[in-house]
Amino acid sequence: MTTNERPERSEDGLKHLLDCEEGGSHASVDSLAGALKLRRARAARLLTELGNEELARPKGDHWQLTGKGRKAAVEVVRKHRLLETWLARETGVPPENWHRAAHVAEHRLGAIETDELADRLGNPRFDPHGDPIPTREGELPAAARISLAEWPLEQDAVIVHLEDEPEAIYGEMVQAGLHPGMVLHGLERQPGGVILCTAEGRGLQLSASWLTRIHVDEVTEEHRISDSVRRLSDLGVGSVSQVHGLSPACAGAERRRLLDLGLVPGTEIRCEFTSPFGSPRSYLIRGTMIGLRREQADRVLVIPEGGAA
């Protein structure tokens, strides 16, 4: 990786201005100071520096990107989202750490290396959070979204994007098992703004603080799975089931390992016994006994014996 000539703080500032424009809000000295955790005077100097480089210009009491500035900001966003995709697919870095790791590495990735990384990944259109990845020509596809807070609860929804900031809330959503591609059924609002629903055969309680950070869309046939599908971790000792597939949340080395173990659609799997602490459990698959931790079994979607495919 090469060192980018533009200072890291300037790139962070450009990303903030682009985030504001894409989100329909105005970037200001105060918004930049809050986003980058800077003193107000330092944020003002940073915007002045971007102005001197003709990357941004003031408009009233807020700032906006110039054409040159937008191109530079989109380049940084492309690096970030490609790096998050690489982290998800090819490393064991936990999801809640993808954003921070990509933020550090994006400033050291050159243009040629960025294109090479995109080619290596197959030029993906979306990152693991569901955000569109800018093209190498500098086009940033629009991401029109509706949050779960605005969604009509009488209608099922599919998660298309999870906001990865702040990290603490994103970590909570990941720990709850939420991921892009998950279909939410039977949405029901409770006192305090909490929403109850079911997904992948399991009841979920969605905190009110998550709802504006979960973006959803209508469920199409490609998203639907049988009502009989459950997570392997929810089935008890002695249960027999057939592998339906791996959760979309399962990526990278973890996904490859489970596939190498034979956890492919149609394979029969039997839970033989569990440890005294409930994890790991031993499963019989294709005549071989394998051990899976609970978090691994969480990623395996199955149809219990007698369930409909």
Q: How much is the pLDDT for 308?
A: 44
Q: Alpha-carbon distance 87 to 253, whole Å?
A: 10
Q: Beta-strand (E) ranges in 51-192?
A: 56-59, 62-65, 146-147, 157-162, 183-189
Q: How much is the pLDDT for 113?
A: 95
Q: Alpha-carbon distance 102 to 117, whole Å?
A: 13
Q: Is the pLDDT of residue 241 over 50?
A: yes
- Condensed to tens digits (0 to 9), the pLDDT of residues 68-109 reads 999 999 999 999 999 999 998 888 788 888 999 999 999 999
Under 8 Å between Cβ of 187 and 216: no
Residue range(s) in the chain whose domain bears CATH number 1.10.10.10: 1-134
Residue range(s) in the chain whose domain bears CATH number 2.30.30.90: 146-217, 230-304
Q: How much is the pLDDT for 283?
A: 94
Mean pLDDT within 253-279: 87
Q: How much is the pLDDT for 3?
A: 41
Tell me if residue 285 falls in helix, strand or coil.
strand
- Condensed to tens digits (0 to 9), the pLDDT of residues 142-196 reads 776 799 999 999 999 999 999 888 888 999 998 898 988 889 999 999 989 999 9
Considering the chain, what is the average pLDDT of its residues? 89
Secondary-structure class of domain 1-134 per CATH: mainly alpha
Q: Alpha-carbon distance 239 to 232, whole Å?
A: 10
The band of 54, judged by pLDDT with boundaries at 50, 70 and 90, is: very high
pTM above 0.75, yes or no: no
Q: Does domain 146-217 have CATH number 3.40.50.10490?
A: no
Q: How much is the pLDDT for 20?
A: 92
Under 8 Å between Cβ of 15 and 72: no
Mean pLDDT within 214-221: 89
Q: Is the pLDDT of residue 306 over 90?
A: no
Secondary-structure class of domain 230-304 per CATH: mainly beta
**In percent, how much of the chain has pLDDT > 90?**
59
